[in-house]
Chains A and B, each alone.
Chain A
Amino acid sequence: MHDALVSKSGYHKEIDQALDDDFLRRTLDTFAVSYRANREAVFKDVDEKGLIKKIADAKDYACQHMEELYSKFKAEAEKRGVHVHRAKDAAEANRNIADIAKQNNVKRIVKSKSMTAEEIHLNTALEKEGLIVDETDLGEWIIQLRHEGPSHMVMPAIHLSRYQVADDFTKVTGEKQDTDIQRLVKVARVQLRRKFIAADMGISGCNFAIAENGAVTTVTNEGNARMVTTLPRVHVVLAGLDKLITKLEEVLDAVQVLPRNATAQRLTSYFTLMCGAGQCQAEGNDNGRKIMHVVFLDNGRTEIAKDPLFKQIFRCVRCGACANVCPVFRLVGGHKMGYVYIGSIGLILTYFFHGHDRARILCQNCIGCESCANVCSGGIELPRLTREIRARLNAEEGSPIEGTLMSAVMKNRKMFHNLMKFASFSTKPFTGGTQFIRHLPMAVLGKHGYKALPALASKPFRDKWSQIAPHVQNPKFRVALFAGCAQDFIYPEQLEAAVKVLAAKGVAVDFPMEQTCCGLPLEMMGQRKTSIDVANQNMAAFRGGNYDYIVTLCASCASHLKFGYSEILDGTASMLEAQSFGAKIIDFSSFVHDVLGLKPEDFNKSAQKVTYHASCHLCRKLNVHEAPRELIADAAEYVPCEEEEVCCGFGGTYSAKFPEISAQILNKKLDHVKETGASRLVVDCPGCVMQLRGGAEKRGMQVKVDHIAQLLAENLK
C-alpha cells in the first residue's frame, strides 16, 4: 500500500515529487478543465440542486434509521435466498468473507470495484488465506499488478500513462504489448475473461442496499460487475452500513446524479439491481441457484451515525466529484490527496477509518475553496468538516505551536493590534519605500519566495478613521464596515475607496473600533476555543449599532461572519445573535450593486481593460456571480478570464502550510490573467489581492491588482 503519510516532512517530499511529475500534471489539468464543461452540460437536463437535496434527505433518514433498515433489508434478502452478515470491524469482515470462501471450497476469486474492500484491505487478507484474488475493473487490475492503491475513487489508475500500462501488461502476458490504448483495453478483455471463467467466487461492492426489497445495486461502465456477479457460483457483496437506503425511488434519484458527477455521464453503461439469489447454472451449484452473501461492515459507522455533525458523511455516494474539482488534487493527484479514500471526503474518512496520525497530516491539505461542497452529490459541507477535524485533533491531542501562538495573540484584541503596529514599524527597513517587503534574503523565504510579500501599512485604517469618517445627511442606509485584518493593517486604501463610494451614494458609514479578526484563520488552524472568543468579541463590537447592513470587502471574512459563526456557536447561548448578525452581513459588490443599485450612469466608463478573479468564498459560499462582473463592465472594459472561478491558491494559512502547492495554483491563475491582455485585475478579497499582486510582482507582470472598490471609486461620477 502506497503511504505518503508517514511524516509531515515525508509528505511534503512526496508532494514535491508529484508536482514534478509532468504526466500527472498534464493529465489532471486536462481532466479538470474538460470535466467542468462536460459536467455542466449533462446537468442541464435535470434539477441538480433539487436532486442533491433529495439524496441528502434520503441518506440522512437512512443514517438515522440504520438498525431498522438493516433488519428490513435482512428479512427481505433472506426471503429471496440471500445470507446476510454483519461485521463489527475490518478484521471480522475479512474473516467472514474468507470463511464463506472456505465453506464453498473456493480457490479463485474475481472482484469488481469496491472502495469498502479497499477500506478493510480485503485482498491482502484473502491472499494470506491462500486465495487467488483478481481485480476485474481495468483500472483496479492495473494498480493491482503494480501493487498500488487507487488514486481516484472512480478512475483508480488516472495517474498512470499508457507506457506504464503497456509495460505491466507485457510482464503479465509474457508478450510485448503495443502502447495503443484501444489494444491495451483488449488485452485486459482477453486476460480477464479467462479469470471470470475460472473463478469460483465473485466479490462486488454495492452502491445502494435497498431495504424495502433486499436488492443491492452496482453501477459500472465496463460490465465487469455483471460478469463478477453472474459467472462464478458464489457471489459475496461487501457493503458499508451507510449503503442502506429506504426505497427504490431514492436510488433512482441518486443514479441521476452519481454518474453525472463522477464522469459527466447521464448514466453508466450498466446499472444493475440484484434482488435475491437468482439463477446460476455454474457447475457445483446443485439447485441452479446462486450462493449469495451480503456482508455489512460497521467499522465505526454506527458510532459516526450518532455524531450530530459528522453523520452527514454518510451522504457520500463515492462519486469522486470532490476530487474532480479540487485545485489541490489537480496538482498532486489522489495518492497525496487522500489515503484509501480520495479527495475531500478522503481527508475526512481517513480520520475515521485509517488513523489519526495520517489524518493529522492529511486534513491540513484542504485550501478551503468550497469547490467540493459546491458539487457534492449529497451536499456534504466538506471543508467545514475538515476544519472540524483539525479542531478535534487539537482538542484531543494538543495543538501545534503555530496554532497555540496564534490563539494566545488573537485572544486579546489590543495585544494583537499593537503587535501588528509594531510589525509595521519593524519591517519598514525591508520595504524600500514600496508596498512590498523587498529586502529579505531568499534563504529566509525558502519555498515561500514565489510571491512578493506585502508591507504593512504605515498607518492602519482604524487609526485613520477619525479623520476620514464621512458625514452623510439624510442617509439612505446606515451601514457598519467590517475591516478584517488584511485591509485594516495592510490595505487600508481599499477600505478608503469603499467609504468614498458609499458616502457619495448617500450611505452613512460607521466603523466600530472593538472589532477584531473574523476568526477564520483560527478555524483553519483548528483553534476552536479562541475562534469562538473572537466571534463573541466581534458580535459585541457591532451590538446596539442598529445598522441596516454590515458591509465587508473581504469575501472570506464575509462567509465566516455570515455562516461560520452560526456553525461554531451552534448549541450555545450566542446562537440566535449569530444568526441575526449573519443576516446583516453583505459583501461590498452585492451591497453597491443589488442594494444601492449602482448603474452604468453612475460611472465615467474608462477604456481600461479589466479582468476579474472570483474569490472562492464570494462565488461559492455567498453565491455572488453577476454583481462584480456587471460593476466592472459599468466602470471599465471587462475582459473575462479563463477559469475565473478557480481558486488563486491563497487559502489564508494554507499558503503558509503548503507554499509549493499554493505557488503552482497561483501560476496557473496568472497565466490565464496574462492571456486576457488586461492591464488590471480586480477581486473582492484582500487575501486574493495579496496572493495575486505578490505573484504578479514576482513575475514582473504589467498588471495592476486591486480590490474592486478601488476601480469603482476611481471611475465614480
Chain B
Amino acid sequence: MTPQELVEAFSAKAQAVNAVVQEVPTMAAALQYVVDVCANKAPAEILADEPGTEKGPLGPNKQPTRVQKIVAAPQLAEEDFALLAKSCEEKGFLCLREGVRKYLSGIDVGVGLAELGVAASGTCLCNTDNEDVRLSGMISEISILLLKKSTIYPDLPSIADKLRDRMGHGEPTYTTFITGPSRTADIERVAAVGVHGPLELHIILLED
C-alpha cells in the first residue's frame, strides 16, 4: 500500500469503530484542535469525591460537574506543552503535565502521542509506560491521540519487530493498543460507548 492508501485505510477503519479522525497540517493546529474540543464539550462530571474541588451543576449522570475544565497532556514536548498551556490558560482550563492521579474522578480531555498506527484495524499503539500518560487516556471524557501519518503500518505482524524492541530491554513497559473509544455490549448486546474509559476518541493525523 502507498502511504496515502495506508492513511485512507487507517481512517476508514478507525471511523468504523466510532473514532473521530482529523487531518491537520501542523502541531500548532493540532493543539488548537485540542483547545477547541475542550471548549466545546460540556464540563466533565466528577464521578467520585474530590475534596477541595469546586463543583458545578449536575451532569447527565446526576453527578456534579467541574467548574474548571482539565486538559492533561503529559507526553507533549516542552515547547508544545507550553503553547497548549498558554491557550488553555486563556480559556480558563487547567492544563496538566503530571499529577493526573489527583483527578481520578474524571478530567475533560487527555492528549497522548501514538507511536504508530495499524491500518488494518484503525488502531493506535501507545507507549503508556508513564503513569500520567496512561491515566490521561483512561479517565478523560475525550481522549485525543496525535499520530504521524508516516508511522502508519499495514497490520499487526508488520509492527512485531518494533514492539519486540520496546519490550526487550529488561525495563518494565506498558503498551496499549487503542481501537476506538471504550465500549460495551454487555446489556442485551446493545452497543454503548464510554463505560470506564473515554466517551470519545479523536485521532489527529499529523504531517511529518
Say whether B121 contacts A266, CB under 8 Å. yes
Which stretch, B20-28, B29-37, B76-84, B186-194, touches the partner chain A?
B186-194
Could you name 22 residue pairs across A and B whose Cβ atoms are closer than 8 Å? A80-B171, A139-B187, A142-B187, A158-B186, A158-B189, A181-B190, A185-B184, A189-B47, A193-B104, A196-B104, A196-B196, A215-B167, A226-B138, A226-B196, A248-B167, A252-B163, A265-B17, A270-B176, A270-B182, A278-B129, A278-B173, A279-B172
A224 to chain B, nearest CB (A): 5
Q: Which of B149-208 contact A (CB under 8 A)?
A: 155-157, 159-160, 163-164, 167-168, 170-190, 192, 194-198
Say whether B174 contacts A274, CB under 8 Å. yes
Could you say which residues of chain A place their CB within 8 Å of the CB of B167? Answer: 213, 215, 248, 273, 275
The 4 nearest A-B residue pairs measured at CB: A276-B172, A223-B197, A139-B186, A266-B121
B45 to chain A, nearest CB (A): 8
Say whether B188 contacts A192, CB under 8 Å. no
Say whether A222 contacts B195, CB under 8 Å. yes
A197 interface neighbour in B63, B105, B190, Cβ under 8 Å: B105
Say whether A188 contacts B160, CB under 8 Å. no
Residue of A nearest to B195 (CB): A222
Which stretch, A160-168, A532-540, A628-636, A643-651, touches the partner chain B?
A160-168
Task: Given A189-B61, A194-B48, A268-B179, answer yes or no on A160-B171 (Cβ-Cβ < 8 Å).
Answer: no
The A-B contact count (CB < 8 A) is: 202
Could you say which residues of chain B place their CB within 8 Å of the CB of A193? Answer: 47-48, 104-106, 139, 196
Task: Kindly state whether residue A263 has any CB partner on chain B within 8 Å.
Answer: yes
Q: A182-198 toward B: CB 8 Å interface, digit per residue (1/0)?
A: 11111111101110110
Could you say which residues of chain B place their CB within 8 Å of the CB of A185? Answer: 184, 187, 192, 194-195
Say whether B188 contacts A161, CB under 8 Å. yes
Say whether B170 contacts A138, CB under 8 Å. no
Q: B106-129 toward A: CB 8 Å interface, digit per residue (1/0)?
A: 100000000000101111000001
Task: Kindly state whether residue B55 has any CB partner on chain A within 8 Å.
Answer: no
- Name, among B63, B139, B157, B198, the residue most crowded by chain A CB atoms within 10 Å (CB to CB): B139
Say whether B178 contacts A270, CB under 8 Å. yes
Residues of A participating in the B interface, judged by any CB pair closer than 8 Å: 27, 30-31, 45-46, 79-81, 136-139, 142, 155-158, 160-162, 165, 181-190, 192-194, 196-197, 212-213, 215, 221-224, 226-227, 230-231, 248-249, 252-253, 255-256, 263, 265-282, 289-290
Say whether A162 contacts B188, CB under 8 Å. yes
B157 interface neighbour in A139, A252, A272, Cβ under 8 Å: A252
Further pairs besides A158-B186, A221-B183: 12, Cβ < 8 Å: A30-B189, A46-B120, A139-B187, A155-B189, A160-B188, A185-B195, A222-B195, A252-B160, A266-B120, A267-B179, A269-B183, A280-B131
- Name, among A45, A184, A197, A221, the residue most crowded by chain B CB atoms within 10 Å (CB to CB): A221
Say whether A80 contacts B184, CB under 8 Å. no
Say whether A275 contacts B131, CB under 8 Å. no
Task: Kindly state whether residue B101 has any CB partner on chain A within 8 Å.
Answer: yes
Task: Given A190-B47, A222-B197, A223-B197, answer yes or no on A156-B186 (Cβ-Cβ < 8 Å).
Answer: yes
Task: Given A45-B120, A162-B187, answer yes or no on A230-B134 (Cβ-Cβ < 8 Å).
Answer: yes
Task: Given A186-B60, A190-B47, answer yes or no on A155-B177 (Cβ-Cβ < 8 Å).
Answer: no
Question: What is the CA–CA distance of A393 and B196 in the complex, to the nearest angstrom?
Answer: 45
Could you say which residues of chain B place their CB within 8 Å of the CB of A277? Answer: 172
A155 to chain B, nearest CB (A): 6
Question: What is the CA–CA distance of A273 and B127 in the complex, to the nearest angstrom?
Answer: 10
Say whether B104 contacts A231, CB under 8 Å. yes
Say whether B196 contacts A192, CB under 8 Å. yes
A269 interface neighbour in B63, B155, B182, Cβ under 8 Å: B182
Residue of A nearest to B173 (CB): A275
Say whether B138 contacts A136, CB under 8 Å. no
Task: Kindly state whether residue B4 has any CB partner on chain A within 8 Å.
Answer: no
Residue of B nearest to A247 (CB): B164
Task: Kindly state whether residue B135 has any CB partner on chain A within 8 Å.
Answer: yes
Task: Kindly state whether residue B13 has any CB partner on chain A within 8 Å.
Answer: yes
Task: Kindly state whether residue B53 has any CB partner on chain A within 8 Å.
Answer: no
Say whether B131 contacts A230, CB under 8 Å. yes
B172 interface neighbour in A161, A188, A278, Cβ under 8 Å: A278
Residue of B nearest to A156 (CB): B186
Question: What is the CA–CA distance of A156 and B178 in the complex, to the nearest angstrom?
Answer: 23
A267 interface neighbour in B48, B121, B171, B186, Cβ under 8 Å: B121
Could you say which residues of chain A place their CB within 8 Å of the CB of B190? Answer: 162, 181
B154 to chain A, nearest CB (A): 11
Could you say which residues of chain A place their CB within 8 Å of the CB of B176? Answer: 226, 270-272
Could you say which residues of chain B place their CB within 8 Å of the CB of A139? Answer: 184, 186-187
Question: What is the CA–CA distance of A252 and B123 in the complex, to the nearest angstrom?
Answer: 13
Say whether B104 contacts A197, CB under 8 Å. yes
Task: Given A45-B120, A80-B171, A136-B196, answer yes or no on A248-B160 (Cβ-Cβ < 8 Å).
Answer: yes
A53 to chain B, nearest CB (A): 15
Question: What is the CA–CA distance of A324 and B119 in the complex, to the nearest angstrom?
Answer: 28
